[in-house]
Copies of this chain bind each other. A is one copy, B any other.
């Protein structure tokens, strides 16, 4: 886990611009933003990807989405709209091996989504 950059952000060992923190979930701004608002919402617990989710993780995963929805409100993009994205594996474009939900908004997002 010490090698996981998102675990280290959760521990405070690597700095990030946090926009949410609770005992189970943190959210911080993407260092390479693809939209005016681009935030990553992650579980503090190390979960490698969506493939590693257990049926018992549904509450945690649902909370990732609800936290993202709340951040959309505080960022002022709830009404204009936003996109939530979870990448898994190579074809999905997953770049960090710790489950994370992208929240993107503040501009029109095109289709297809990549």
**Interface on A for B, CB 8 Å cutoff?**
34-35, 50-51, 53, 55, 57-63, 65-66, 68-69, 72, 77-94, 102, 104-114
- Chain A's interface: helix, strand, loop or mixed, by majority? mixed
Stoichiometry, copies per complex: 2
Given A66-B55, A102-B113, residue A107 in contact with residue B91 (CB < 8 A):
yes
How many angstroms from the CA of A66 to the CA of B112 in the assembled complex?
A: 23
Which of B51, B78, B87, B114 is in CB contact (< 8 Å) with A114?
B114
A91 & B86 in contact (Cβ 8 Å cutoff):
no
Q: Which of A104, A107, A111 has the most chain B CB within a 10 Å cutoff? A: A111
B69 & A63 in contact (Cβ 8 Å cutoff):
no
